[in-house]
């Protein structure tokens, strides 16, 4: 091992030197006696390194990288000054811990005391630095790694309806072409679902965890109730309260929460921002949950969307219907051809069904 170019830091970081200082034995004493006799100019640095190791070993506090860096900057500044002075004087070599102790007992020239006063100053400075940095930069609180949030999602393709019971006991029925998404098992303080399409909800009571359904533009919150939400793309959002009480928040509307009582509904047009609160026909709104299709003053394009979702087909229009065309009819467990046959008389169109494609030509 070549220690001729060792700095104080090199001694401190050298594993064998640290073991010798902290756990000396016969073999390590012989090794370091030999190395220091061959490099007497390194004795002072070795003494400083030993003092630092003993001090740092006693102080069990761990230092950050920044603290260590600042500490070494101060040590380098002090050792550079001491080494410039020691070059002019004779250096007495050390070889082992016992020899160091004996050496400390001997009478030494004044400059030796000056050097050790310098070392002491470094140690005091290092200790003070550690204390001050621990105050200025207290040990940071361990960062709690957030739990991975797992979402559950259920989707009903066109032509399919689905009923499910959630973890909290609430029941959800999804209409065709609809989906819900929510955090698995919900959160500790709330139950939030995101709905696309249409769903009917029977909410299990839980006063500590409000139940909310969020659609485009409207948030419906209930503690324990039953309500229907329709929120298909490009159509108005319709919230109909069947049982209990709900509170509604509408995005972009400069209004307080809107409360609904049993039998009331709220219609919201996201495109125009118009809100309309009124009464609704329960049989009409919940017809889909009983496998019924009821058209009562329904726009033709909305009726087409309903039929596409209900039967899982795609409509192609040869020409567009009049914008004010409304359709009427009630169908229960009917095949698509019978429904189209019934509508064609009042809406005045011809139709052709090829597998899952429907072509309509308005007259």
- Please tell me whether residues 270 and 326 are part of one structural domain: no
**Together in a domain, 247 and 161:** yes
Query: Would 141 be classed as within a structural domain?
Result: no
Spatial separation of the C-alpha atoms in residues 74 and 85, rounded to whole Å: 17
Final residue belonging to a domain, choices 110, 136, 162? 136
Burial of 357: CB neighbours in 10 Å, binned 0-12, 13-18, 19+: exposed
Give the residue among 35, 39, 127 at the shortest CA–CA distance from 75.
127
353 within a domain of the structure (yes/no):
yes
> Same domain for 124 and 173?
no
3-state secondary structure of 305: helix
| 2 inside domain | no
Instruction: Give the count of domains, the chain.
Output: 3
Question: Based on the domain organization, do 346 and 252 belong to the same domain?
Answer: no
Q: Does some domain include residue 143?
A: no
What is the rounded distance in angstroms from the CA atom of residue 347 to the CA atom of residue 353? 17
Q: Indicate which CATH number applies to the domain containing 274.
A: 2.60.120.1440
Q: Tell me, yes or no, whether 344 and 251 share the same domain.
A: no
CA distance 280 to 271: 22
Same domain, residue pair 297 and 271: no
Q: Which of 103, 136, 169 is the last residue of a domain?
A: 136
Residue 116 lies in a domain: yes
Question: Which of 219, 252, 281 is at the close of a domain?
Answer: 281
Same domain? For 227 and 189 the reply is yes
φ, ψ of residue 90 in degrees (nearest 5): -75, 140
Give which of 43, 112, 120 is closest to 75, Cα–Cα.
Answer: 120
pTM (two decimals): 0.56
The runs of H, that is alpha helices, within 181-332 are: 282-285, 300-311
Please indicate, yes or no, if residue 142 is contained in any of the structural domains.
Answer: no
Please answer whether residues 127 and 148 qualify as being in contact, where contact means their C-beta atoms are separated by less than 8 angstroms: no
pLDDT, tens digit only, all 363 positions of the chain = 888 888 888 888 888 888 888 877 777 788 888 888 888 888 888 888 888 877 665 444 444 555 555 555 655 555 555 445 444 434 433 434 454 444 444 434 433 444 545 555 555 555 555 555 455 445 544 545 456 778 999 999 988 999 999 999 999 999 999 999 999 989 989 999 999 999 999 999 998 899 999 998 899 998 779 999 999 988 899 999 999 999 998 876 667 788 999 999 999 988 888 889 999 999 999 999 998 999 988 889 899 999 999 999 999 998 888 878 899 999 998 899 999 999 998 889 999 999 899 999 998
CB 285 within 8 A of CB 228: yes
Q: What is the DSSP string of 260-301?
A: E-TTEEEEEETTTTEEEEEE--HHHHTGGGGTEEEEEEEEHH
Radius of gyration of the chain (CA): 42
Domain span at residue 351? 291-362
Q: Is position 1 within any domain?
A: no
Same domain, 180 and 244: yes
Tell me the C-alpha distance between 103 and 325, whole Å: 110
Residue 3 lies in a domain: no
Same domain for 252 and 227: yes
Chain-centroid distance, C-alpha 339: 49
Regarding whether 232 and 328 lie in a shared domain, the answer is no
Residue 18: HSE in the Cβ half-sphere, 13 Å Cα cutoff? 11
**Is 258 found in the same domain as 182?**
yes
- d(CA 281, CA 298) in angstroms, rounded, equals 14
Q: Are residues 184 and 73 in the same domain?
A: no
């Amino acid at each position: 091992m070549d220690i001729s170019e060792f700095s104080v830091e090199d001694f401190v970081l050298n594993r064998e030197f640290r073991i010798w200082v902290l756990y000396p034995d016969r073999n390590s004493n012989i090794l370091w006696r030999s190395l220091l006799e061959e490099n007497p100019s390194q004795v002072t640095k070795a003494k400083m390194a030993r003092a630092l190791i003993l001090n740092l070993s006693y102080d069990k506090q761990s230092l950050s990288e920044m603290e260590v860096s600042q500490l070494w900057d101060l040590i380098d500044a002090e050792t550079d000054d001491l080494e410039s002075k020691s070059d002019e004087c004779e250096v007495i070599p050390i070889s082992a811990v016992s020899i160091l102790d004996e050496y400390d007992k001997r009478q030494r020239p004044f400059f030796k005391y000056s050097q050790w006063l310098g070392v002491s100053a470094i140690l005091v400075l290092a200790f003070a630095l550690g204390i001050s940095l621990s105050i200025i930069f207290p040990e940071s609180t361990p960062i709690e790694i957030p739990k991975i949030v797992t979402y559950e999602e259920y989707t009903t393709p066109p032509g399919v309806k689905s009923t499910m019971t959630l973890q909290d006991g609430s029941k959800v029925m999804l209409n065709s072409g609809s989906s819900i998404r929510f955090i698995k098992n919900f959160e500790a303080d709330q139950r939030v679902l995101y709905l696309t399409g249409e769903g009917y909800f029977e909410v299990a009571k839980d006063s500590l965890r409000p139940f909310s359904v969020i659609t485009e533009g409207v948030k419906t919150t209930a503690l324990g109730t039953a309500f229907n939400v329709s929120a298909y793309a490009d159509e108005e959002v319709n919230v109909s309260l069947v049982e209990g009480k709900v509170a509604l928040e509408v995005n972009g509307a400069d209004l307080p929460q809107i409360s609904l009582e049993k039998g009331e509904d709220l219609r919201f047009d996201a495109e125009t921002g118009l809100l309309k609160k009124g009464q609704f026909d329960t049989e009409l709104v919940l017809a889909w949950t009983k496998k019924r299709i009821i058209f009562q003053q329904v726009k033709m394009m909305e009726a087409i969307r309903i039929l596409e979702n209900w039967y899982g087909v795609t409509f192609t229009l040869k020409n567009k219907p009049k914008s004010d065309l409304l359709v009427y009819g009630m169908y229960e467990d009917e095949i698509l051809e019978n429904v189209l046959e019934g509508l064609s008389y009042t809406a005045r169109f011809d139709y052709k069904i090829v597998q899952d494609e429907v072509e309509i030509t308005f007259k």
